[in-house]
Structure 1
Amino acid sequence: MNGPEVRELHGMAQFEAVSLLYAGIWGTPPEQAPMSAEVMRALSHAGNYVAGAYEGDRLVGAAVAFFGEPLGTTMHSHITGALPGLGAGLALKMHQRQWALTRGLKRITWTYDPLIRRNAHFNLTKLGARPEEYLRSFYGAMDDAINGGDESDRVLASWDLSAPPPAPGDPGIARPEGAVHAVRDREGLPELAGLDAEYVLVDLPADVEALRRTDPAAAGAWRRAVRGALGVLLDEGAQVLGLHGRRSYVIHRRPRTSITPTTRETP
């Protein structure tokens, strides 16, 4: 495929370059980068996955993953960061996929911020991964340029390596007939609704990262709304089918009595 060249990394100078790249992407001081060179060195030496994407000699992306449970079938991708507009993120995930398949693995998992539209589109529509679990404040409050001090709710996504990746340009899933909004975008704020439908839609904010900088209260309202809808439905065993229109999770559940999504904080 066209795009950056991806290769495994093994040297301290390479790991230090990745750590600096991550610091730049996440907007942290170098000494507070999301992952240190020393940890990457240990993971790589133990046989785990550490890879970088290059445009010529320039590092433009990197990913770190380690083996997970069930052993022999799963790899957990802990962090992937890429500069925008170069295709490095997709190149890294496809390289990671082939690396895992070569070792007989059947799936790759990772966590992502369920409020960031482009991440949801990339994970669900471009890769074909599916959310399995809603993790409330998984890392606690994170005060970097992306998370902006908000609680770090995450979704655990699972990528079935036995299924072929979606075709390039896949538009995502169509809106099912009879689908009802649990969370709807109303002039930039979440509107919650009761529901009694087999198919449920959960809208995402247009740019939650900007809201965290300019309107933390609105960003918090979105987090609580999505937590109270997507989180509750995943807890109940509902299945996320995909993303509609690059903005709405499409969720399938068994019809039952009416539910009103809650914004109540969990203990």
Structure 2
Amino acid sequence: MESTSLMQPPDLIIRELHTLDEFADMYVLFNRVWQPEPGEEPVVVAQLHALAHTENYVVGAYLGNAMVGASVAFFGAPIGEVLHSHVTATIVDGGVGFALKQHQRTWAVERGLSRITWTYDPLIRRNTYFNMVKLGARPEGYRVNFYGNVDDAVNQHDETDRLLMNWCLTGPKASAAALGVPILRTAPGDAQVAIAAVGDLPLVRPTDAATVLVDIPDDIAALRVRNPSAAREWRHAVRDVLGGLLADGATITGFDPMAGFIVQRHTTRS
């Protein structure tokens, strides 16, 4: 399956991969992005071959003959409903990541699937914006140290806390986002701040408000290099506050680029 659309770079081609050489190119691309230590690679060639052979989602994005992005996903439970997106990466800007996700969405819908799930680091601001605002996906759970400590250029041996994302493929948010309409939400006037950024550090403000705001760093990857102890404080603050709220039944209803996650409690604390 090859894909082009009005919303993607005009010279970009996205297609399913089938050969060992193509899988090797994908392996190189992923390792270029994550720069993992040996044994920490997100996928290896044999896994890619097995996934493609069993008709899972293994695709590359090309500008000319150069692979500039790739994505791997596999069928999940409930069977016939869910595709789980394991890893997606690009090495150029200009809408390649968005085009890959829209290709993945079309591929899943053509196979009768209704949802795509994936995990991502809630401390990464640009990915939060991409997932919630540009795609219209919503978080549905917090997972503590999901992959264990990972030593690569992105994670820097940090604990791998993840938000589990749920993307309803034919819902109004995903349909609007596919046309380039951002799913924007601004913090309501009665929302109270639960975590604010003060310099490099998180400031936790206990609150029983029905709607709370949980901010995240501007650039956690740079912070891990510049101030590793501050990055660790952010990890544990967001885990305790955002993870705690979700564990108590709260819902993340949106992301305000200026204020952070918008979280709605279903019952106020006494």
TM range (shorter): over 0.9
CA distance in 2, matches of 1:154, 1:142: 13
Amino acid at match of 2:211: Y
- CA deviation string 1:42-100 (max 9, x = no partner): 00101100001111111000000000010100000000011131321111100000000
Deviation at 1:215, TM superposition (A): 1.1
1:138 aligns with 2:150: no
Partner of 1:234 in structure 2? 246
**SS of equivalent residue, structure 1 residue 124:** helix
Deviation at 1:168, TM superposition (A): 2.2
**SS of equivalent residue, structure 1 residue 195:** coil
Report how many aligned residue pairs link the two structures. 258
Q: Please, which moves more after superposition, 136-145 or 172-181?
A: 172-181
Amino acid at match of 1:9: L
1:14 aligns with 2:14: no
1:47 aligns with 2:55: yes
**SS of equivalent residue, structure 1 residue 145:** coil
1:38 to 24, 30, 46: 46
Distance 1:23 1:54, change over 3 A: same
1:58 aligns with 2:58: no
CA contact (8 A) 1:197 1:255 kept: no
**SS of equivalent residue, structure 2 residue 140:** strand
Partner of 1:78 in structure 2? 86
CA distance in 1, matches of 2:46, 2:259: 38
Amino acid at match of 1:189: L
Partner of 1:88 in structure 2? 96
Unaligned runs of 5+ in 1: 259-267
Map 1:1-267 → 2, pairs under 5 A: 1=6, 2-3=8-9, 4-28=12-36, 33-163=41-171, 164-166=175-177, 167-168=179-180, 170=182, 172-245=184-257, 248-257=260-269
- CA deviation string 1:134-170 (max 9, x = no partner): 0000011111000001100011000001211425252
Amino acid at match of 2:201: L
Matched-pair identity in %: 45
CA distance in 2, matches of 1:127, 1:99: 16
CA distance in 2, matches of 1:171, 1:236: 25
CA distance in 2, matches of 1:15, 1:145: 22
CA contact (8 A) 1:20 1:30 kept: no
CA contact (8 A) 1:238 1:251 kept: yes
Amino acid at match of 2:247: D
Deviation at 1:192, TM superposition (A): 0.4
CA contact (8 A) 2:15 2:60 kept: yes
TM-score by length of 1: 0.93
Deviation at 1:254, TM superposition (A): 2.2
CA contact (8 A) 2:187 2:259 kept: no
**SS of equivalent residue, structure 1 residue 67:** strand
Unaligned runs of 5+ in 2: 1-5
- CA deviation string 1:178-208 (max 9, x = no partner): 0011111112210001111111100010111
**SS of equivalent residue, structure 1 residue 175:** coil
Deviation at 1:247, TM superposition (A): 5.2
Partner of 2:3 in structure 1? none
CA contact (8 A) 1:126 1:170 kept: yes
Amino acid at match of 1:96: Q
CA distance in 2, matches of 1:165, 1:70: 26
CA distance in 1, matches of 2:135, 2:152: 26
